[in-house]
Homo-oligomer: A and B are copies of this chain.
Amino acid sequence: MAEKEKSTIVLFSGELDKAIAAFIIANGAAAYDHEVTIFFTFWGLNTLRKDQQVPVKKGFLEKMFGKMMPRGAERLGLSKMNFAGMGPKMIKHVMKKHNALTLPQLIELAQEQGIKLVACTMTMDLLGLQKEELLDGIEYAGVAAYLGDAADAKVNLFI
């Protein structure tokens, strides 16, 4: 049996447009039967946050980070033309008009297709994010696990 092609994406950025690009590429690769891993680190972790507040115990700085960072896929800004939140509204509007999947739908599709969503435990520690605050069904690992996947993969992107 032939082994599956592998692809990995590091999602470092916490912006709506980049997250959409990452999930479109990832879902596309999974549709072509690649084994796909997205490794969420730094601001990319915000994509995985649940949209409701989760009561967890945190230190002061961790609380600050938690408050200042967007809570989940619905709340991300744009890397360009954010215009205090008007840009994301426009993008979401045109995406709806074109029947494009929203980011939460793209994430759901990714999970259905078996794409491995991995939260970087080191940056979770740094930003004070706890497992309870992130989506269910994701994995937790460090850079070593990412490198293990990437070394076997054909397509490796940093977004």
Contact = CB atoms under 8 A, between A and B. Distances in A.
Interface of A: 5, 10, 12-14, 17-18, 21, 24-25, 28-29, 31-32, 34, 41-43, 61-62, 64-65, 68-69, 79-81, 90-91, 93-95, 97-98, 100, 122, 125-128, 143-144, 146-147, 150-151, 153-159
B61 A28 contact: no
Majority DSSP secondary structure for residues of A touching B? helix
Contacts of A24: 122, 143
A128 B151 CA distance: 36
A155 B155 contact: no
A34 B155 CA distance: 17
Nearest to A95: B126
